[in-house]
Amino acid sequence: MKTRSISFSRIFMGIVLVVMYLPIVLLVIYSFNESKISSVWGGFSIKWYQQLFRDKEMFKALWNSIILGVSSSVCAAVIGTLGAFGMTKIKCKANGVMEYLSTLPIMIPEIILAMVFLAFFSLLGLPFGMTTLILGHTAFCIPYCFMLVKARLVGMDASLAEAARDLGASEWQVFRDITLPLIAPAIASGMVLSFAMSFDDVIISLFVTGVNVNTLPIRVYTQIKTGVTPEINALCSLMLLATLILVALSTWLGKEKQ
């Protein structure tokens, strides 16, 4: 009885995982397809990779995405961490409203935020481009950093800070020596999550970017919409490889810590 139910759950999870990985695996396989028509296998080839590496626009988009992801996750980490820290120190009524408002960007459909930013940035007369992209992305990255750091701070033993002060630490030294090291893992995972979300974002980027600034997802999106070339397959495979390395790295780092 028991073994049967276990094997059923195993089979169920197995099937879901296979379907989950199927499109990804196909993509990788077809990126080595000689033929331009992806439904026909024309033999093994790396020509799409060669073509990809000659595509300067693609590299520019990749570079933009990296800059955007790093800047917005750093901004979000600073603002979110300070905010979470301040909220545990100062109890005031505005905190509840502010917490709700600041986490709203990941609660509502992205399209709302996108349209709102588009309208608001043009009202302010901001030039659309990297600045507006960073502002928009920071807005939806803050909640991740804020919530993770706040959860960590709330769970922290208050007597640790008291013990440090008791031993002669000033408030600043307590923050530097005790609080910061203890919330560092939360800040780090907030930043990683922020970067991933920023790197993945299509909707908000589409609306708030300028004519000349492409991010990688925007470029992929327009290419998929206009006409598919296997070059995209190659790009996707490479990005997949990068993801795999990152996931492996973070698991490895997590294990090291333990």
Partner 1 sequence: MKQAKASKKYWATLLPLYLFTILFVGAPLLYMVVLSFLQRAESWGVTSQFTLQNYIQILQPVYLSTFADSLKLALISTTIIVFIGYPFGYFMAKLSPKGKQRMMLALMVPFWTNSLIRLYGWIIIFRANGTLDQLLMGLHITDSPLKLLYTYPAVVVGMVYALLQFMIFAVYSSAEKMDWSLVEAARDLGASPAKAFFTVTLKLTLPGLLSGIILTFIPSMGLFFIADILGGNKVVLVGSLIQDQLVKAHNTPFAAALAVVLMIMTTLMIALYRKISGVRDLEGLL
Partner 2 sequence: MGKKILQLEQISKSFGDTKVLDQISLEIEQGEFITLLGASGCGKTTTLRIIAGLEHPDNGRVLLNGRDVTLFPPEKRTVNTVFQNYALFPHMTVGENIAYGLKLKKFSKEQIQKKVAEMLELVQLEGYQNRMPGELSGGQRQRVAIARAVAVEPQVLLLDEPLGALDLQLRRQMQFELKRLQKQLGITFIYITHDQEEALNMSDRIAVMRKGQFEQIGTPNEIYETPKTSYVAHFVGEANILRGTVAEAGENILLHTPAGSFSAHCYEVAAEQGKTACVAVRSEQVSFQPAEQSLTGLSAVIREKTFAGGMLRIVLELTDGQTLVASRHGIDLPAQVGQQMTVFWEPSQAIVVEDSEEELP
Q: Is 108 in the site for partner 1 (CB under 8 A)?
A: yes
Give the Cα separation of 103 and 139 in Å (integer): 9
Segment contacting partner 1 by CB under 8 A, of 47-55, 66-74, 153-161, 197-205: 197-205
Residues of span 111-130 touching partner 1 by CB under 8 A: 111-112, 115-120, 123
Taking the CB of residue 92, how many other CB atoms lie within 10 A of it? 9
Give the Cα separation of 241 and 248 in Å (integer): 11
Segment contacting partner 1 by CB under 8 A, of 16-24, 42-50, 51-59, 157-165: 16-24
**Do 66 and 239 contact (CB within 8 A), yes or no?**
no
Letters for 126-165 (x = contact with partner 2 by CB under 8 A, - = none) are -------------------------------x-xx-xxxx
Q: Is 202 in the site for partner 1 (CB under 8 A)?
A: yes
The CB-of-115 to partner 1 minimum distance in angstroms stands at 5
Residues of span 64-103 touching partner 1 by CB under 8 A: 78-80, 82-83, 85-87, 89-90, 94, 98, 101-102
Q: Is 243 in the site for partner 2 (CB under 8 A)?
A: no
Contacted entry of partner 2, partner 1, none for residue 249, CB cut-off 5 to 8 Å set by kind: none
CA distances from 122 to 114, 126, 198, 210 (A): 12, 6, 22, 11
Closer residue to partner 2 in complex, CB, 142/183? 183
**Do 118 and 205 contact (CB within 8 A), yes or no?**
no
Contacted entry of partner 2, partner 1, none for residue 178, CB cut-off 5 to 8 Å set by kind: partner 2
Q: Is 181 in the site for partner 2 (CB under 8 A)?
A: yes
**Do 110 and 203 contact (CB within 8 A), yes or no?**
yes
The CB-of-174 to partner 1 minimum distance in angstroms stands at 12
